[in-house]
Amino acid sequence: MSALGLAAVLSGCGVGGGDSSDVTLTLVAADYGNGAADSSKKYWADLVERYESDHPDVDIDVSVYSWNDVDRKVKEMVDAGNPPDMAQIGAYADYASQGLLHRVGDLLSIPVQADFLSQLSEAGEVNSVQYGMPFAASTRLLFYNKSLFAEAGLTPPETWDELVECAEALEADGVKYPYALPLGPEEAQAETLQWLLSGDGGYTDIGGTYAIDSTENVETLSWLRDELVGKGLTGPVAPGELDRAEAFEAFAAGDVGMLNGHPSLMEMARKKGVKYGMVPIPGAEGETPSALGVADWMMAFEKNGHRDEIGDFLDFVYSEENVLDFSREYDLLPVTNSASRAMAASGQDKEIKPFLDQLPLSEQYPVGKTSWAAVNAEIKRKIGKAVEPGGSPAGVLGELQAAAVRADSAG
């Protein structure tokens, strides 16, 4: 599942194409839409048509797959010895560690590479060499249902204790999910990390070493178990069985009082007529010092050659106009400085500005670790058990730490 977790429902389908060009480049991309009407196929078809009209000797063949399938599809192609020229998916480090990817510095022009937001460029590095190009980004805010809050006479929480007080009042009013806690396998790693950050912890320590079972993390999950889940404030579905997409749908249906959300939730709520507010994520004692930041990645495989053609096409993909178009189409944050400045200065993007303001100081997943894919999978599989009534946060986090150390050593 993507770091952004924007699950879609469309199966793969090529866009672009033709057989009269001198060079054909293949791109496998993820779908950020929620159906045929807003499928990423349309975005890529338009972009490819514009590029090919100025480059008649290059054909771009794009296949778009849902987030449920795209990472697996690329892995199957790589395992079969037939990787695409480019892939826009959720992680890059494993392919980089196998020596399969072009260095970004060998592909992009200097102005384009320098335009990436610095913390995202650094997150795209393995051993201080950039292989992953950020493609889309998001941060998180606490969304709350304004109507439900008004009916209960509540103001948005700033601390964990205030969040519990709000959840208790919403529960007393019969709200189905006072606080939706999606720790199901779709995107448990995101909800978990946001809570760990709000408790002054995280997946790694300041030196980048895994610290999943830190004292701070154990205390955070123990608080979640006792104060939210144990008090029946997280709704009828066990957190370990509640996926992010289900939680978002429930919020858009008016059944959720509060949840952590990224920008795409705004459009979902608007379409269903839900009045919502957004505030910084509450922390143990106040506003969370560091918000979760998530990026999805573009990478280019070496096997088929065509380095110059790939680089020229990606320079076009990362132009200010195209980055802005994609970000606005899917309510995501731009990954370049130029597009970020344009969005920050534009009146049409004022609602997304709180997310944009968080990005420079946000905390990313440890995506530069080749072990992250395996650790991520283990977190998704196990973390829900830590907050079950009677569950053992220390035990679960200890198991995850041991698995992370093993995966790191193997890598």
Please give the pLDDT value at position 20: 46
Contact between 323 and 330 (Cβ < 8 Å): no
In this prediction, residue 10 carries a pLDDT of: 40
Identify the pLDDT of residue 226.
98
Kindly report the pTM of this predicted structure.
0.84
Residue 366: which of 231, 211, 249, 214 has the closest Cα? Answer: 211
Ordered per-residue pLDDT tens for the chain, 411 residues? 444 544 333 444 555 544 445 899 999 999 988 777 788 999 999 999 999 999 999 999 999 998 878 988 999 999 999 999 999 998 899 899 999 999 999 999 999 999 999 989 999 999 899 999 999 999 999 999 999 999 999 999 999 999 999 999 999 999 999 999 999 988 899 999 999 999 999 999 988 899 999 999 999 999 999 999 999 999 999 999 999 989 999 999 999 999 999 998 998 999 999 999 999 999 998 888 788 999 999 999 999 999 999 999 999 999 999 999 999 999 899 999 999 999 999 888 988 999 998 888 889 899 888 899 889 989 999 999 999 999 999 999 999 999 999 998 886
Predicted confidence at residue 292, as pLDDT, reads 92
Q: Please report the pLDDT score of residue 282 as a whole number.
A: 95
Separation CA 284–CA 360 (nearest Å): 22
Which strands form 58-65's sheet, in the order they lie side by side?
Answer: 13-16, 58-65, 23-30, 86-89, 293-300, 133-139
CB 8 within 8 A of CB 31: yes
Q: Which residue has the tokens 């399969």?
A: 100
Specify the amino acid at residue 269: A
At residue 91, the pLDDT reads 86
Q: Which among 247, 381, 314 has a CA at the least distance from the CA of 107? A: 314
pLDDT for residue 320: 97
Residue 69 · residue 77 · CB < 8 Å: no
User: What pLDDT does residue 15 have?
Assistant: 56
The residue whose two tokens read 């100081």 is 361
CA 111 to centroid of chain Cα atoms: 26
User: In sequence order, what are the residues at sequence separation of 6 or more whose Cβ sits closer than 8 angstroms to the Cβ of residue 209?
Assistant: none
The three-state DSSP-derived secondary structure of 161-192 is HHHHHHHHHHHHCCCCEEECCCCCCCCHHHHH
